[in-house]
Copies of this chain bind each other. A is one copy, B any other.
Amino acid sequence: MGGPEIDHLIGLLSKLPGMGPRSARRAALKMLQQPESRMLPLAAALTLAAQAVRPCADCGNLDSQDPCTICSDEQRDRSIICIVEGVGDLWALERARVHHGLYHVLGGTLSAMAGIGPEDLNIPGLLSRIAEGDVTEVILALGATVDGAATAHWLTDQLRSTGVSITRVGQGVPMGGALDVLDDGTLAAALRTRRAT
């Protein structure tokens, strides 16, 4: 239609999560109509982020400083580490402002199916952080999936000898959730974790 540059750009945009060929074309067209105000700023932001952002050597969070903003924050409770599968989970917990300790990003879960073993995850970093002695509690904030549960079990076994308290995030009915659309496993967990009102 308009030369290889446009086709190439649409191809790359269409591979972004949440984008398809149609929305990629719309995005490309909108940017092409305002190259100075829309296209070049995005190109610059991408280049800058690619150059500046690195995984935090301590926790695995992505940040333009290392140690990351969270690990460097003296206000945070250094005795509690929340273990998450990925940076997206960390972002979600930070947006909710529900955890005031530190994090540790595993980089995935154990998975026999996908052939992911402990050596593929950021376990040594976790063990050495705990060995430093400041940590009193580890919160396992892993997904409620088969692999998430298996990883939580394995980590509980591994960490038992360290003497830190090990907890898992609660399971049950999500906020705003109707019971009749929930799966059996969630309903079972919700009944199991019932509390007096």
Q: Which residues of A contact B (CB under 8 A)?
A: 1-6, 8-9, 12-13, 15-19, 22-23, 25-33, 35-36, 38-50, 52-53, 61-65, 68-70, 86-88, 90-91, 94-95
Contacts and interface: CB of A to CB of B under 8 A. Distances in A.
Given A39-B46, A46-B39, A46-B46, A29 B91 contact: yes
Given A30-B17, A31-B46, A64-B6, A1 B90 contact: yes
Given A19-B19, A35-B50, A50-B35, A45 B3 contact: no
11 contacts: A3-B65, A5-B45, A16-B30, A18-B19, A19-B27, A26-B88, A29-B87, A31-B49, A32-B62, A36-B50, A39-B47
- The number of times this chain is found in the oligomer is 2
A147 B19 CA distance: 30
Contact of A63 (B2, B28, B44): B2
B41 A3 contact: no
